[in-house]
Homo-oligomer: A and B are copies of this chain.
């Protein structure tokens, strides 16, 4: 990958996450990346192609993070690890941008990236089963919903107290 190619990807991720995909023009991306607009189309073919490249790169990163959780053998630890993995305080800037993009895209393109979360959902279901919960499957979905909700609030609400809610949930899930 060329240096300018990476600059385009980086600039696009930042702008798409901040201002949305459809509402960010390719000329803006080019300007922000310090590159001619035509180069975007040379390398990525189309604006959609650019988005695809960003999402593909990000998915690889997600897999790495998830694999650390999924292969945890202790059920209780797995549940707590999941809660920690989504704590924005544990993320680098670029990771945060990528997550935000996921949520924005979800509503802009109206497609929930189910398959991405599927391995985590299964691992959580398994963990809750080991821990003796009555409805492990539903518990897993519930927890994923809670993580979604916290992320949403973290990104969109100014005065959201992420830390104390996660402490509250950790307590709930340890007994």
Q: Which residues of chain B have C-beta atoms less than 8 A from A168's C-beta?
A: 135, 138, 142
- A26 to chain B: closest CB distance in Å? 15
Question: What's the interface size class on A, roughly?
Answer: 20 to 34
Q: With A20-B22, A168-B135, A168-B142 as given contacts, are A157 and B104 in contact (CB-CB < 8 Å)?
A: no
A168-B142, A169-B142 in contact; A106/B156 too (CB < 8 A)? Answer: yes
Enumerate A154-169 residues with CB–CB distance to B below 8 Å. 155-157, 164-165, 168-169
Q: Taking A22-B20, A107-B103, A111-B156 as contacts, is the C-beta distance between A165 and B149 under 8 angstroms?
A: no
**Chain B residues within an 8 Å CB radius of A164:** 138
- A150 on the interface (CB 8 Å rule)? yes
Q: How far is A22 from B23 in the complex, measured between Cα atoms in Å?
A: 7
Overall SS of chain A's interface: helix
In the complex, the answer to whether B165 meets A138 with C-beta atoms within 8 Å is yes
Other A-B pairs beyond A20-B107, A135-B168, A145-B146, 19, CB < 8 Å: A20-B22, A20-B108, A23-B108, A103-B107, A106-B107, A106-B152, A106-B156, A107-B156, A110-B155, A112-B157, A114-B157, A138-B165, A141-B165, A142-B169, A145-B148, A145-B149, A148-B148, A148-B149, A148-B152
